[in-house]
């Protein structure tokens, strides 16, 4: 116990809340319709007011933008669309004045095909950069194997000039890097150290569980050398400074997560895993194959991660990111109870153990969109539509999946105010604005004590004020209750009780807070009945032990 306490106090990234910015959709400073670094700088006051401790910045490096920056052509330069290297240095310095650290997004599993390394690599088999990527012999007709890319089609692309295929787990313009090559690894470490010297305080590692792939054995994630590579990466870079590192790992189990985030700091600070967020799809199928959320299972999954990582690892807490639909539309209610359900979901998550992440607009209760098919910009959504049309799916069925799960749900411009284009740009935005911006926007919420924004502000503050939110042990209550999500967090000094009605129907609350407990936060403006929970009602109680 003592050890856990000390560990928690030492690590600054256990007490903060991280805010994810998707730069192209956050704030546009020059009217070209695309968000940029100056735009972010202009919103630092807003972020400080919210209370966040760090920004996870989705990729801003030089990129042909085939996958919105997750295809990097120069790791040591900023894409002109977002600004310059000087703007990035300014952002780091300005954010620091607001006590906000910058976490960069490192895409190390693959580069862009327009990266200098790949341009060289594809010239000949003898080229010194050839082995930075993964090549296999074949003929135009005979593909190395049947592996598929995440954005559709084969994972192998034929290069006629050299008579070889290269391997890509994502788009054709995202060739996979070959981590087996020590020279490549060294270049990556040098690049990371260069950013550390620029004052970056952390890194989010894109699909890090896929770097040790072995395509001949059909291995994509959790390859045999994965943790060896991670330990070397950490030793050569992150361990030199007091950084936060978060590994995106779709294939993480609790057991693997303890390796990634071992408190001995040999690999990363924390994992970012998706088990809870993949529950509303048909098992063994794709995310587009929709299924209702199994609520009891959701509780079980959260509880298992909370229990198993306690004292032995660290998790991220999130509902949203740039790849996921808006949580209030997904598992809340984006109509009559938008405000109540958005706050309930926030309260439920922020009471747990782990580092909470807020994705831009989540703090306002931003919702999903329903676009016409040509209004979607995301490569995954566009490819899916074509692929399913060709397979004979009905258009309405495909659109239903897209409305529910398209990544563009998260990528519409941030809604700042009720002016044209929600105050995001003076020009024409690169993607449509959600038509509900007149009602849902930051300007409406900042001063309003009962807004979703204010609720997030409170939750962030509580985490700083009450250590039990950081180090308390988790206990799930009323496991089998079909509507109530309830748990406690307990440390040597205090206990919190979180109770949430996950649904619209009013319920009798099976868990009653004892009289000595004081209400810290709730999503209704009166205390209500201790034993009844109104639609989506959520409360956090507290007592000293
Ligand atoms: O996402 C990893 C990933 O596996 C996604 O392709 C995921 O399966 C999909 O988004 C679910 O809809 C990361 C980034 O977060 C994503 O934006 C990138 O497109 C991807 O890696 C490739 O870099
Ligand atoms: Ca711009």
Distance CA 509, CA 528 (A): 12
* Closest ligand relative to 177 C-alpha: 1
Distance CA 121, CA 138 (A): 17
SS3 457: helix
The upper half-sphere exposure of residue 443, i.e. CA atoms within 13 Å in the direction of its Cβ, equals 11
Ligand 1 contacts CB of residue 323 (under 6 A): yes
CA of 333 to the centre of ligand 1 (A): 26
Q: 514 to each of 292, 497, 530, 531, how far by Cα in Å?
A: 34, 10, 10, 11
209 Cβ contact list (under 8 Å, min separation 6): 221, 222, 226, 247, 248, 249, 250, 251, 252, 256
Ligand 1 contacts CB of residue 405 (under 6 A): no
Please list the alpha-helical segments (H only) found in 12-68: 37-41, 44-50
* Closest ligand relative to 251 C-alpha: 1
The number of beta carbons lying within 10 Å of the beta carbon of residue 390 is 8
What is the DSSP track for 494-537? Answer: EEEEEEEE-SSS-EE-S----TT-EEEEESSSS---TTEE-TT-
Structure-token pair, residue 104: 């960069």
* Closest ligand relative to 67 C-alpha: 1
Distance CA 399, CA 336 (A): 24
Ligand 1 contacts CB of residue 70 (under 6 A): yes
* Closest ligand relative to 427 C-alpha: 2
365 Cβ contact list (under 8 Å, min separation 6): 328, 334, 338, 339, 342, 440, 452
The number of beta carbons lying within 10 Å of the beta carbon of residue 347 is 27
Ligand 1 contacts CB of residue 66 (under 6 A): no
Please list the alpha-helical segments (H only) found in 240-394: 254-260, 295-309, 327-330, 338-350, 379-390
| Nearest CA, atom 11, ligand 1 | 323
| Nearest CA, atom 2, ligand 1 | 207
Out of 22, 66, 70, give the residue to mutate to test ligand 1, the one with the largest number of ligand atoms within 8 Å of its CB.
70
Out of 103, 108, 168, 207, give the residue to mutate to test ligand 1, the one with the largest number of ligand atoms within 8 Å of its CB.
207
Ligand 1 contacts CB of residue 209 (under 6 A): no
CA of 86 to the centre of ligand 1 (A): 29
Q: Measured from the CA of 210, which atom of ligand 1 is nearest? A: 4
| Nearest CA, atom 3, ligand 1 | 207
SS3 483: coil
Residues paired with 532 in a beta bridge: 508
537 Cβ contact list (under 8 Å, min separation 6): 340, 344, 500, 501, 522, 523, 524, 528
CA of 175 to the centre of ligand 2 (A): 28
393 Cβ contact list (under 8 Å, min separation 6): none
Structure-token pair, residue 101: 């650290």
Catalytic site positions: 206, 248
Tell me the whole-structure pTM to 2 decimals: 0.97
3-state secondary structure 1-46: CHHHHHHHHHCHHHCCCEEEECHHHCCCCCCCCCCCHHHHHCCHHH
Q: What pLDDT is stored for residue 1 in this prediction? A: 43
Q: Measured from the CA of 110, which atom of ligand 1 is nearest? A: 23
Distance CA 193, CA 184 (A): 14
Distance CA 329, CA 161 (A): 49
Residue where the block lists tokens 């909470």: 356
| Nearest CA, atom 6, ligand 1 | 150
Q: Measured from the CA of 322, which atom of ligand 1 is nearest? A: 17
Ligand 1 contacts CB of residue 107 (under 6 A): yes
| Nearest CA, atom 23, ligand 1 | 70
pLDDT in tens, the chain (545 residues): 444 444 545 799 999 999 999 999 999 999 999 999 999 999 999 999 999 999 999 999 999 999 999 999 999 999 999 999 999 999 999 999 999 999 999 999 999 999 999 999 999 999 999 999 999 999 999 999 999 999 989 999 999 999 999 999 999 999 999 999 999 999 999 999 999 999 999 999 999 999 999 999 999 999 999 999 999 999 999 998 999 999 999 999 999 999 999 999 999 999 999 999 999 999 999 999 999 999 999 999 999 999 999 999 999 999 999 999 999 999 999 999 999 999 999 999 999 999 999 999 999 999 999 999 999 999 999 999 999 999 999 999 999 999 999 999 999 999 999 999 999 999 999 999 999 999 999 999 999 999 999 999 999 999 999 999 999 999 999 999 999 999 999 999 999 999 999 999 999 999 999 999 999 999 999 988 889 999 999 999 999 99
Pairing outcome for strands 101-106 and 74-78: unpaired
| Nearest CA, atom 12, ligand 1 | 323
């Amino acid at each position: 116990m003592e050890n856990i306490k000390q560990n928690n106090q030492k690590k600054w990234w256990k007490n903060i809340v991280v805010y994810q910015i998707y730069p192209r959709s956050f704030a546009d400073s020059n009217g070209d319709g695309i968000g940029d670094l100056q735009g972010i700088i202009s919103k630092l006051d807003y972020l400080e007011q919210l209370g966040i401790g760090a920004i996870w910045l989705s990729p801003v490096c030089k990129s042909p933008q085939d996958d919105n920056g997750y295809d990097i052509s120069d790791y040591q330069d900023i894409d002109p669309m977002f600004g310059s290297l000087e703007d990035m240095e300014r952002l780091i310095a300005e954010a620091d004045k607001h006590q906000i650290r910058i976490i960069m997004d490192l895409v190390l599993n693959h580069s862009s095909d327009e990266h200098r390394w790949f341009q060289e690599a594809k010239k000949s088999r003898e080229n010194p950069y050839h082995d930075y990527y993964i090549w296999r012999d074949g003929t135009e007709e005979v593909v190395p194997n049947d592996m598929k890319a995440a954005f559709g089609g084969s994972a192998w692309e034929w290069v006629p000039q050299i008579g070889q295929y290269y391997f890509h787990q994502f788009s054709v313009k995202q060739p996979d890097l070959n981590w087996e090559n020590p020279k490549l690894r060294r270049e990556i470490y040098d690049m990371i150290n260069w950013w550390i010297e620029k004052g970056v305080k952390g890194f989010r590692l894109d699909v890090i569980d896929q770097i040790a792939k072995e395509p001949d054995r059909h291995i994509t994630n959790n390859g045999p050398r994965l943790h060896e590579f991670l330990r070397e990466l950490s030793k050569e870079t992150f361990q030199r400074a007091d950084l936060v590192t978060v590994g995106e790992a779709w294939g993480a189990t609790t057991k693997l997560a303890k390796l990634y985030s071992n408190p001995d700091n040999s690999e990363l600070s924390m994992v970012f895993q998706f088990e809870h967020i993949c529950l509303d799809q048909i098992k063994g199928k794709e995310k587009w194959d929709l299924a209702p959320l199994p609520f009891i299972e959701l509780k079980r999954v959260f509880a298992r991660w909370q229990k198993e990582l306690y004292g032995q690892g660290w998790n991220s807490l999130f509902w949203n990111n740039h790849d996921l639909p808006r949580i209030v539309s997904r598992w809340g209610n984006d109509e009559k109870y938008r405000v109540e359900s958005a706050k309930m979901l926030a309260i439920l998550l922020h009471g747990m153990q782990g580092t909470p992440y807020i994705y831009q607009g989540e703090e306002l209760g931003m919702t999903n969109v329903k676009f016409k098919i040509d209004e979607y910009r995301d490569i995954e959504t566009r490819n899916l539509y074509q692929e399913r049309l060709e397979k004979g799916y009905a258009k309405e069925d495909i659109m239903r999946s897209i409305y529910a799960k398209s990544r563009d749900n998260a990528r519409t411009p941030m809604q700042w105010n009720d002016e044209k284009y929600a105050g995001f740009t003076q020009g024409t935005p690169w993607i449509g604005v959600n038509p509900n911006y007149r009602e849902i926007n930051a300007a409406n919420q900042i001063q309003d004590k009962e807004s979703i924004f204010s609720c997030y502000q409170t939750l962030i503050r509580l985490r700083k004020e009450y250590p039990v939110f950081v180090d308390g042990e988790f206990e799930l209550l009323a496991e089998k209750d079909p509507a109530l999500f309830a748990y406690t967090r307990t440390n040597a000094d205090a206990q919190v009780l979180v109770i949430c009605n996950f649904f619209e129907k009013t319920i009798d609350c099976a868990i009653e807070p004892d009289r000595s407990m004081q209400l810290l936060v709730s999503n209704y403006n009166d205390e209500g009945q201790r034993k009844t929970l109104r639609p989506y009602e959520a409360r956090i109680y507290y007592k000293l032990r």
